[in-house]
Structure formats: structure tokens, C-alpha cells
Chains A and B, each alone.
Chain A
């Protein structure tokens, strides 16, 4: 029955959609025909011409109302009314162009910022990791206590990982990862380049449930110190450097001058959080790539250990299990305070993106404020409009205009502003996100951020929410308004007018208040940023270039060949035109981060109680380093040029070091030993 009815009515529905004008004229003709026939009938009954016309009209009723009521029965008449309302609202907005465009821009900013942040929060914080059963994956940490300083979430040492892997009873499997840079040698017309590499134990990919897109994963035999070097290429490197060569598997590439066999190509990095960053170019097996002794050490905390919980095992049980193992190892190495005494864990996703939570949610709060301001702004507009249209609305209500229709017209303006702002905001968000993904490689999982259907649906939801919010707030001003009072002259309508004024000033105060909050936030942020920029690193930062150089260990064996390279290298750099000074430093310049630190004792001082040690950051540099960075020598002299590999006997300390460890003494000529 329903289907049959549809078949009958579809042509009609289409007609009433596309031929509304013709339908209208036909209706006019039909009604006119009726009246004409009635007039003729009346004339035939012997009425006078004028009387016949009037009688026919009287019998027919209000022709305009009949026409309207008839049109209402047509399909799509709801949509037609809606379009009318939209047109009306657009016309009203166009009349106050300045205000409307500012309201729309603020709304676009509010919605755009929120949509962009929603896309980031969703992709970075909320979406589960794209791995098999990601809820059972945990990042494992060691707990280390050095010189009274507790480091709860310390990176893993290779030796401890081996102990855990061998003795744990709570994990289905474990894997370990590290990072290093390789020199990828030139080939054909491709220049050499430094590539960022991940080092993975062979268990990593099966643990996560990932398979290479091409070729195979590392095997246990690849992941040994004595194995032939193998490498997995990233999707990006394979496309960029090897032109997506489908026969790349089993070919050989030179990494640090060592031939490595390509065993496979991984899927794009965006689908490989944890084991890749946007700049990761390839992966090598960790026990083959890293120094054998390093992977056995218990006190070099350089790696990321990941585990998969056995079914039915909780994170706490796994931590208790690993802690027990760690206790035993710790008790066997009481002389080395860098050996961990305990274990801890965090869900894998949390360990990767946890540090982004606070800044992202703080930003979300700020953009929420912007959106609230935009909504209040629109609400304010609507309140003003309602005031201006009070009499009109009252007259229409008195003439039988439906309440719903009046309300809809009132809300249409808000919906129009929000929808236009939302559309603008959506495209704003899309372009901002593209920029963000391209630039912010430091945000984990940034490459998985995408503008998709969910984000579009979120935008739509936001638009409707804002329109409804602004409309509802503005409705407060019409509460209790009587049509009759509105129709009378001004004096009687004053109580409602007062309420409206109050509402407007409340809205305005809220807007100003929120704006002040945002301004203070932004000001503080800018100030922090300016202070960070203005931080005195104690050296020159203008016109200073820093370049990282690494040598292929296969070709530079022995420290003297490395020293020879660097001394001739820095000499040649000094002779380049435009270079004023050059120096060498390891592991980094000031501002690069902590770099390296070491325990030390001052021989002339009384020994510290056992278990305590002094720690300081250290760098290795050549005599030209201080001059190149403009670091002044306050006392004593610079390094003499006879400091050759294996024969270095000189140390230069910083002013703060002297203040801390040689108070009231002259440090020149004193002696220190380090444990390294």
C-alpha cells in the first residue's frame, strides 16, 4: 500500500518541487474559475452584476487564506517556508554588514579552532594504537636512584631487558627499540645523507602485529651481533630514494660504509606510531646494529622496552613480576648505583602521547572560550533584533502567525551566522591541520591527523549547538512577554525592555570577561615564549651555524684517525670564506639539552660517604670551541694543542661549577677523576 502510494505521488512531488511557480498560477486560475462560475450562476438566478460578484466572494471566503492553506498542503511546503526564512534572515544580516561579518568571523575562528583541536585530540590522544589488541601493550620502565635522585620512569638498559625477557612470567612477549643515525652512502646520482633509523629487536613487529608491506621482518638470526647486516626501509625512503623499486628486496645499500641487505619495506610511517617518527627512514635489528657490550650493560639506560601482557594478567601483576627480577639484579650490583632497583609501566598509548594531554586540553579550554564568546556575540545580536521586531512579532502573533514559525525565524539568523562561520571554520581548520602535520614533527602521531567524516560531523554538531545556544540565551529576553503589552505604546512595555537591557549587559560582561581571560592567557604565553627566546645561553647565538657530522665507523677505526679527520676538517672550515671562527664540540652546543653527564671526584677534597657521588654535565671540545661561541675565559688558560687522543689531561670548568664545588678555593691546578 505504501509503495503503491509512493508510485502515485512521486511525479506529483517532483512537480511540486520543480514547478512551484506554474503550480501557483494554476491554483490562481482554478480559484478564479470557481468564482467566475459562481458569479455566472448568481447572474442566472437573476442577481444584479455587483450583487452577484459580492455574493460569490462571500460564499467563497478569504481567497488569500484559501490560497495559502492550499499551498501548505503541497509537498515541500515546509522546505519552501524554510527557504523563505533563510532569505529573510540573510536580508536582515546584509543590512548590518559590518556586524554580521565580524560575528561570522569570530564564529569561524571559534569553530575552526575547536574543530582543528578536536581532530588533533582525536588522532593523537583518543584513537587506539593501530596495532593488534593495543590495550594489552605496555611500555616498561626501570626505576633508578642515583645520588639520592629518584628517576621513576627511566629508559631501559639492554642487560636488564635481557634479564626481564628471560625470567618474566607475566608477559606474552617483549621487544626493545633504540634510535641511531646512519650515513646512507651516495648511489648513482643520489647524494649521501644522514638518515634517522630505528633499531628494533626482531620480536617488535610480531609483538605489535605489524607486517612489512614488502619483503619480510627481521628473524632471530638477523638480530645477533654476528649476523649479516639487514635493513627494513620506510615507505617514504623507498619511494623517494629508490623510486618505489619493486625489486628492492635482497638488494644491498651502504649504511656507515657497511653493506646492508634490504629485507623489506614497511607500510607508511603514519600507521606505525611508537616505532617511527615522521623522520624515521629505516630500521635495523638492534642487537646487530648496536655495540655488543652496550646491549649487555645494566646501567646504560638508552632503550624503550615494550611488552604484551599475557591474557588475564594485569599491569600491576606484570610490574610486580618484573620488580622481583630487578631486585635480584640490583642486589648483585650494589656497587653500581645506575643499576635499576625496580620496574614500572604505563599503557603504551599513554607513554607516547601522555605528555601531550595537558597542553592539548589547555588549548581546548582556550578555544572553548573563543567559541563561547562567539556564541554570546550572536546571542547579543538576536536580543537586539528581538527588541527591534517586538511590535512586528506581536502583530503577527495576534493575526494568528504560528508560534513555531515566529521562533524559527528568530533562530534562523543565529543558524545562518553559525553555519557560515562553521563552513569557513571547517576550511580554516583543514588548512591549519595540513600546516600542523607538515611542521610539528615533535608531536607524536601527528602524521595520523586527518580531516574525515567524523571531523565534518563534529563541525556540523558544533554549528547546531552554537545556533541553539545563542538562540536559547536570546529567548530569555522574550520570557513572559505579552503580545498585548508589546502592541501598546512604549510606557507599558518598559518592564520587558528593562529585562532585555539587563540580559544584554550580562551577555556583554560575560564576553568581556572571557576575552580578558583569553588575553591574559595569551599574554602570559607570549611572555614565557619571549623569555625563553631571551634566555642567556652564555654564548653567541646570532650568526652561529651548527652542523652534525658523523663518521662511518667501518672506515674510521681507532680514535687517532677520527681525531685526524676532525682536526683537518675544522681547519678547512676555518679557511672557508665568510667563516670567522669554528670549533668542535661533543655531544652538543649549549641549548641542545643536557647532553651527557658523569660522576666525578675531586682528588684534593675528602672522599664522600659511600653511595654518594657528585654529578656534572660534560662536553668534549677542541681549543677553538670557546672562541667560536664567544665564551670568555675568566681564569687560567685554554686547552694546549698537545691534547691528543688517549693523552688528554686538561679540564676547563664553568663559573657555576667553580662556585659549587670549589667555594673559596682557587680551582686552577686541582685534579679530578671521572668514572669514564
Chain B
């Protein structure tokens, strides 16, 4: 089984920000959404989501809030901050530029 490449791993932050930009989610829901979207390409354990989440929180890009959920339980919901939204725009644009460049190069070599 081949390992997921570091490039894809490094974009975990970007994916989290993008998903949270659509709606606030708690950790488990976020992990389900990640699997849904990326399929089997992103081979990350559920747990590795949390260091990334807390790092993004410390950087001020997302904020967390404990909210009640069904069955008298509560969960920690993460949402994007204004700062995070701006960061996401920048990073997404970057990603666009780089991936375009790389895919064009990859295509070149295949010819």
C-alpha cells in the first residue's frame, strides 16, 4: 500500500478550513466529511485531525465553542474566524496556482 504523499498531508489544514467555511462542525462530523469528500485518497487516522485543529485554533484561524447536541450531550464545534476566512482565500489561491503549474508539468512529461 502506498503512503499518501506529504504534499497531500500538508494540505490537511487547507481542507479543514475549507470544510469549516461551509458550516461549523465538531471533530467527528468533520472527520466524516473529510472521508466523504476525499474518498480514500487521504489516509489519515481520525485522531490526527485534533493536533491540526488545535494548531489552527492557536493561530487564530478557527475558534471553538462547546454547544449542546442531541441526547443531552455536548460537543466542541469549530468555526472559521474572519482571519481564517482571509487566510483560506489566500491559501486556496496559492494551491490553485501551484497545482495548475504542477499538473501542466506532469502532462508535459507524459507526452
Render B13-43 as a binary contact track against A, CB cut-off 8 A, 1 for contact.
Answer: 0000000000000111001100000000000
The distance in angstroms between the C-alpha atoms of A70 and B48, with both chains bound, is: 9
- CB within 8 Å for A34 and B31 given contacts A60-B45, A61-B48: yes
Which residues of A are found within 8 Å of B85, using beta-carbon distances? none
Which of B4-12, B73-81, B97-105 contacts the other chain?
A: B73-81
Which residue of chain B lies nearest to A37 when distances are taken between CB atoms in the complex?
A: B28
Q: Which of A30, A38, A59, A75 has the most C-beta atoms of chain B within 10 angstroms of its own C-beta?
A: A30
Which residues of B are found within 8 Å of A37, using beta-carbon distances? 28
On whether the beta carbons of A69 and B51 are closer than 8 Å, the reply is yes
Other-chain contact of B47, A5, A9, A12, A66 (Cβ < 8 Å) = A66
Other-chain contact of A73, B28, B45, B54, B66 (Cβ < 8 Å) = B54
Q: Tell me whether A18 is interfacial, beta carbon within 8 Å.
A: no
Q: Tell me whether B59 is interfacial, beta carbon within 8 Å.
A: yes
B9–chain A nearest beta-carbon distance, Å: 14
A27–chain B nearest beta-carbon distance, Å: 8
Beyond A33-B26, A69-B48, 20 extra complex contacts between A and B, CB < 8 Å: A5-B59, A5-B83, A8-B60, A8-B83, A9-B58, A9-B60, A29-B76, A31-B47, A31-B50, A33-B28, A33-B76, A34-B28, A34-B46, A60-B45, A62-B47, A65-B47, A70-B50, A72-B51, A73-B51, A73-B54
Which residue of chain B lies nearest to A62 when distances are taken between CB atoms in the complex?
A: B47
A/B interface sample: 16 pairs, CB < 8 A: A5-B83, A8-B81, A9-B60, A12-B58, A12-B60, A13-B58, A16-B58, A26-B66, A30-B75, A30-B76, A31-B50, A33-B28, A34-B31, A59-B45, A73-B58, A74-B54
On whether the beta carbons of B46 and A70 are closer than 8 Å, the reply is no
Q: Tell me whether B57 is interfacial, beta carbon within 8 Å.
A: yes
Q: A32-70: which residues lie under 8 A (CB-CB) from chain B?
A: 33-34, 37-38, 41, 59-63, 65-66, 69-70
Which residues of B are found within 8 Å of A72, using beta-carbon distances? 51
A497–chain B nearest beta-carbon distance, Å: 40
Other-chain contact of B58, A41, A59, A66, A74 (Cβ < 8 Å) = A74
Which residues of A are found within 8 Å of B47, using beta-carbon distances? 31, 60-63, 65-66
Which residues of A are found within 8 Å of B31, using beta-carbon distances? 34
The distance in angstroms between the C-alpha atoms of A38 and B29, with both chains bound, is: 10
B109–chain A nearest beta-carbon distance, Å: 36
Q: Tell me whether A4 is interfacial, beta carbon within 8 Å.
A: yes
Which residue of chain A lies nearest to B27 when distances are taken between CB atoms in the complex?
A: A34
The distance in angstroms between the C-alpha atoms of A74 and B58, with both chains bound, is: 7
A606–chain B nearest beta-carbon distance, Å: 104
Q: A142-162: which residues lie under 8 A (CB-CB) from chain B?
A: none
- CB within 8 Å for A38 and B28 given contacts A60-B46, A61-B46, A75-B58: yes
Residues of A in contact (CB 8 Å), total 30
Residues of B in contact (CB 8 Å), total 24
Count of A-B contacts with CB under 8 A? 72
The distance in angstroms between the C-alpha atoms of A26 and B77, with both chains bound, is: 13
- Chain A interface mostly: helix
Other-chain contact of B54, A5, A13, A59, A70 (Cβ < 8 Å) = A70
The distance in angstroms between the C-alpha atoms of A74 and B57, with both chains bound, is: 9
The 6 A-B residue pairs with the shortest CB-CB distance, nearest first, are: A61-B45, A8-B60, A66-B47, A61-B47, A73-B55, A37-B28
Q: Chain B interface (Cβ within 8 Å of chain A)?
A: 26-28, 31-32, 45-48, 50-51, 53-55, 57-60, 66, 73, 75-76, 81, 83
Render A426-448 as a binary contact track against B, CB cut-off 8 A, 1 for contact.
Answer: 00000000000000000000000
Which residue of chain A lies nearest to B76 when distances are taken between CB atoms in the complex?
A: A30
Which residues of A are found within 8 Å of B76, using beta-carbon distances? 26, 29-30, 33
The distance in angstroms between the C-alpha atoms of A69 and B45, with both chains bound, is: 13
Which residues of B are found within 8 Å of A61, using beta-carbon distances? 45-48
- CB within 8 Å for A5 and B60 given contacts A33-B75, A70-B54, A74-B54: yes
On whether the beta carbons of A59 and B55 are closer than 8 Å, the reply is no
Which residues of A are found within 8 Å of B51, using beta-carbon distances? 66, 69-70, 72-73
Which residues of A are found within 8 Å of B32, using beta-carbon distances? 41
On whether the beta carbons of B59 and A9 are closer than 8 Å, the reply is yes
A269–chain B nearest beta-carbon distance, Å: 58
The distance in angstroms between the C-alpha atoms of A38 and B31, with both chains bound, is: 10
On whether the beta carbons of A66 and B50 are closer than 8 Å, the reply is yes
Other-chain contact of B46, A16, A27, A29, A59 (Cβ < 8 Å) = A59
B15–chain A nearest beta-carbon distance, Å: 17
The distance in angstroms between the C-alpha atoms of A62 and B45, with both chains bound, is: 9
The distance in angstroms between the C-alpha atoms of A60 and B49, with both chains bound, is: 9
The distance in angstroms between the C-alpha atoms of A166 and B67, with both chains bound, is: 96
Which residues of A are found within 8 Å of B46, using beta-carbon distances? 34, 38, 59-61
Which residues of A are found within 8 Å of B48, using beta-carbon distances? 61, 66, 69
The distance in angstroms between the C-alpha atoms of A473 and B57, with both chains bound, is: 43
Which residue of chain A lies nearest to B73 when distances are taken between CB atoms in the complex?
A: A33
The distance in angstroms between the C-alpha atoms of A38 and B28, with both chains bound, is: 7
The distance in angstroms between the C-alpha atoms of A41 and B32, with both chains bound, is: 10
Which residue of chain A lies nearest to B86 when distances are taken between CB atoms in the complex?
A: A1
Q: Which of A8, A66, A75 has the most C-beta atoms of chain B within 10 angstroms of its own C-beta?
A: A8
